[in-house]
Chain A
Amino acid sequence: MSERIDIDAANRTAVDRMTATRPMLMGVEKAADLIPALRDRRLLHAGPPIAWAQMTGPLRGAILGAALFEGWASDEAAAATMAERGDIAFEPCHHHATVGPMAGVVSASMSVYVVEDSASGKRAFSTLNEGYGKVLRYGAFSAEVLDRLRWMNGTMAPLLAEAIREGGALDIRALIAEALQMGDEGHNRNKAGSLLFLKTLAPHLLSASGHLKPKAEVLEFLGGNALSVLNPIMAACKLMADAAHGVEGSTIVSTMARNGTEFGIRVSGLGDRWFTAPSSVPDGLYFPGFGPADANPDIGDSTITETVGIGAFAMAAAPAIVSFIGGAPEDATRATLEMYEITAGEHPHFTIPALGFRGTPVGIDLRRVVELGVSPRVNTGIAHRQAGVGQIGAGLVRPPLKVFEDALLAYAEKYGY
């Protein structure tokens, strides 16, 4: 073997690009105008590529809901027939600069947040968050779900677009940094971040054109949803992760995503190949009346947060949600300390007060994960396995080690180790 790649240098480059990315929320626009793939009855979904036959309940439900929302079918049965027949095409959000929580289904007429890196001009997209209960992202597609989607895209989206236009681009990296100081971890807990989001938008929403009542409804909707900022955060994380992708020789994980059937990762130095393995059921707490037997395997693109060093990686910043992993605040600290062992760097912008303002662990190094047998921690919501029921709990999940081992073998093959 002649010239060996300096893996550490490659990883430093990848992590530096990731942390240097400064995602700004620029506006809200129609998905079809930004993502050409969405024309021709195509839908985006969370996680690695998947066919209808392999999909589990929540993703199927969300797809049926999107077909109804787009008016491609008049009822559930007709929509299901279309999907089975292959009349609807599916592609991962990740292939189109997009990320979506849970099922992550994006259709042409949905509005999406537009987040842009000021330096590179690259953009990423994410839908508007629907709140809790029966929602499309958990596979619900009843009339009430579709009505809410129509209100969000018809009433809220234009107001948000105008408010952002008026208020100017919103620095999501700064928002995340501030929220971490306020007890959020940016994935499962976005209480502070969502309020910061609301606080920033509120004056501009009020000064937007039109009647006061819809504006008040938008304010109430955003304020009542502690996850309202999750989607712009995810789009911001997607920009950071994509910036780290494609560095020759780098072993940094640049994507982690699940489609409800498989958990998939991509690696900076290994091109666009997905490494997948069956997704597991999260270990966590359940809503009244539900238990692990009701849970769908892990689903969603929201693992993009852990990929760039927040979420479960910043658990020490969010001791209030630590019960998901067992109880004491010390467990939150330990969770973050463990992630330092599998990451290549510490985030220069995202810091944790409880750890003396140490930067969050960032840049998952394939080598460390495989050697130590420590899979990244992920904080996540738990979806019911049946389409339409919705969220039934929240907890912790770890990707199967196999995806990292397979990626390491592929790396060895590609780079001659």
Chain B
Amino acid sequence: MLRSVIRPGVYYDSVVLMRVQRSLAALPDVLDAGVVMATPANREILAAGSLLPEDLANSRADDLLIVIRAASAAAAEYALSQLDELLRARRTASAESYRPHALTTAIGELPDARWVMISVPGEHAAALARQALDEGKNVFLYSDNVTLTEELELKQLAGERGLLMMGPDCGTAILSGVGFGFANRVRRGGIGLIGASGTGLQAIASRIHELGGGLSHALGTGGRDLHQEIGGLTALAALDLLSRDEETRVIVLVSKPPAPGIATRVLAAARRTGKPVVVHFLGQPRPERRVGTLHFATSLAEAAEIAAGLAEQTEPAGASFAKSSPGALLRGLFSGGTLAAEALLGLRVFLRTIASNVGHDASYRDTSQNGHRLLDLGDDEFTVGRPHPMIDLTLLRERIRAAATESSVGVVLLDVVLGDGAHADPASELAPEIAAGKALAASQGRALEVVVIVIGTEGDPQDLARQVAELGGSGATVVRSVGEAIERVTAVLAVPTGERSGRPVPIEALRPPVAVINVGLESFHDSLVAQGAATLQMDWKPPAGGNRRLTEILAKMGAPRR
């Protein structure tokens, strides 16, 4: 069944006609179709395909010839009825822009992008992240299965370049209201978040929003940032960055328990921000509710609540380190075992290793390492053959004197417990000892801080006010709780020497307009588009199709430069 139509005097580009022809041939029960200008050459082609109608006497080369071979007359008629529609039809022009294959091309297409978001398979992620850092871009690395060595290299490179390296395995970030990866729509505000775990950040962010608060930014570090090997490089860079961000008034730092030495560094950096920092190390007992500008939370929700509360306060939270002696040692001399235990628990978070006899710990006996030391002088071994130090201050005085002569000691911490049964006037013995110790240190050009925790009431026989006044008069700092003592001690000691090793990340990394190059999961791109952020999706494939030998050769040959 062959049907044909001639349209005289019309012109269509041959490619349009071939497209229409293909569409006609695809219609039901159409066996073949020809849509051509009726030139002699085209007639030959039709004839070769048994598509040439018999009677074409009146047609000319500039006529459009449509031929349908169909299984039935109805199918042929239907096909011909579709002709005009098909000739008119243009594919909906897709607004989708070109998707580059190479990162360098993408950067050329979206030069304002300060961020590259990477969610490709882990084996390729590090190389891509390295390339992005080399190109001067901050990185949000969602991919996991990046080795610890690669992570360290990437974070060190970022430090050298003054870039922020979020991840690997970073699920969440919010920059100036634009969510990266998995993020909630949260009100803008003055709270900046730093967190390893994506859902942890999401939970805190959502809770802050629920409480009426808002976020400046949320920065992810990746789950292993506070491991010993990585050293909290991203957390430190993020703290430094948020410290300089005017929008951020309160910082929340949430993570799984850090390696001990890393916690020390991170907490010191947190205090150095000069802003209130709410800290929540999941599963690790908090040293105190508050230590200086640091507020410790016990749950994600509580962290959010503390932060929301702090953000409403207007007073500046600046902390002074004017009298700090970074690197100096602590001598803790306690008469109360429980006070010693609490102080040790809190201080260990800040001072890392403290030798002590508390809780059957014999580490203090090892004198080969000259480090921080905290002793319970009421423990049995010190009370053999002499009264308890709450009654007899001799041992305590000896120890204070000894500490004052040690040039490496910067802080002496002790407790004075008043009340019935205790020494009748401890200040009378301790104040002169303290004053002498401080004078000795001063004569040697050293600062010696003495912190005294006084426990008692105004009804106690020793006269609390007079005890406090006399001890204070000796030059000691008198506090009324272990928490205050920890704050004071750490303010003096827990400031690492020198600055963070990396170059500071320019504040522009956080500022709008947020523009992102996305490599990997297309849903991340869609989400950025929905948020109105400038974004470019790459059409990424594993380098050299994943061929190792070729990749090695290419690496040796070096990236092409225009």
Contacts and interface: CB of A to CB of B under 8 A. Distances in A.
A367 interface: yes
B557 A367 contact: yes
B550 A374 contact: no
B46 A328 contact: no
Contact of B15 (A321, A401, A408): A321
Interface stretch (B29-37, B114-122, B438-446, B469-477): B29-37
Interface stretch (A83-91, A256-264, A337-345): A337-345
A328 B91 contact: yes
Interface string B262-298: 0000000000000000000000000000000000000
B562 interface: yes
A405 interface: yes
A412 interface: yes
Given A132-B41, A405-B550, A330 B15 contact: no
Contacts of B549: 409
B545 interface: yes
Interface stretch (A40-48, A102-110, A230-238, A287-295): A287-295
Contacts of B562: 344-345
B100 A288 contact: no
B287 to A, nearest CB: 52
A289 B560 contact: no
A300 to B, nearest CB: 19
Interface string B20-38: 0110000000001111100
Nearest to A374: B101
Given A290-B49, A320-B15, A330-B93, A8 B560 contact: yes
Given A321-B15, A327-B91, A370 B22 contact: no
Nearest to B35: A288
A405 B547 CA distance: 10
Q: Pick the most buried of A320, A371, A401: most chain B CB atoms within 10 A of its CB.
A: A371
B93 A285 contact: no
A333 interface: yes
A370 B94 contact: no
Interface residues of B, number: 49
B557 A340 contact: no
A398 interface: no
A289 B45 contact: yes
A289 B101 CA distance: 38
Contacts of B148: none
Interface residues of A, number: 50
Given A327-B91, A372-B541, A367 B41 contact: no
A394 B554 CA distance: 35
Task: Label chain B's interface by main secondary structure.
Answer: mixed
B559 to A, nearest CB: 8
A371 B543 contact: yes
A287 B561 CA distance: 43
A337 B98 contact: yes
A289 B18 contact: no
Q: Pick the most buried of A323, A409, A417: most chain B CB atoms within 10 A of its CB.
A: A323
Interface string A33-54: 0000000000000000000000
B51 A288 contact: yes
A312 to B, nearest CB: 14
B320 to A, nearest CB: 55
Contacts of A340: 105
B32 A289 contact: yes
B102 interface: yes
B558 interface: yes
A66 B48 CA distance: 24
Interface string A247-269: 00001000000000000000000
Given A328-B91, A329-B93, A344-B562, A286 B45 contact: no
Contacts of B33: 288
A348 interface: no
Interface string A96-137: 000000000000000000000000000000000001111000
B544 interface: yes
Contact of A289 (B22, B49, B100, B553): B49
Contact of A341 (B92, B101, B558, B561): B101
B558 A328 contact: no
A341 B550 contact: no
A368 interface: yes
Given A133-B41, A329-B93, A372 B557 contact: no
A370 B544 contact: yes
B153 interface: no
A164 to B, nearest CB: 27
A223 to B, nearest CB: 13
A184 interface: no
Given A341-B100, A373-B545, A288 B34 contact: yes
Closest 5 A-B residue pairs measured CB to CB?
A289-B49, A288-B34, A285-B18, A327-B91, A337-B98
Interface of B: 13, 15-16, 18-19, 21-22, 32-36, 41, 44-46, 48-51, 67, 90-94, 96, 98, 100-102, 105, 541-545, 547, 549-551, 553-554, 556-558, 560-562
27 contacts: A7-B557, A8-B560, A11-B560, A251-B557, A285-B18, A288-B34, A289-B32, A289-B50, A326-B91, A330-B93, A330-B94, A334-B98, A341-B102, A367-B560, A368-B102, A371-B102, A371-B551, A372-B102, A372-B541, A373-B543, A393-B18, A394-B15, A405-B544, A408-B553, A409-B550, A409-B553, A417-B553
Given A288-B35, A371-B554, 14 more contacts: A285-B15, A286-B18, A286-B22, A288-B36, A288-B51, A289-B51, A337-B98, A344-B562, A367-B560, A370-B554, A372-B102, A373-B101, A412-B556, A417-B556
Interface of A: 7-8, 11, 131-134, 251, 285-290, 320-324, 326-330, 333-334, 337-338, 340-341, 344-345, 365, 367-368, 370-374, 389, 393-394, 401, 405, 408-409, 411-412, 417
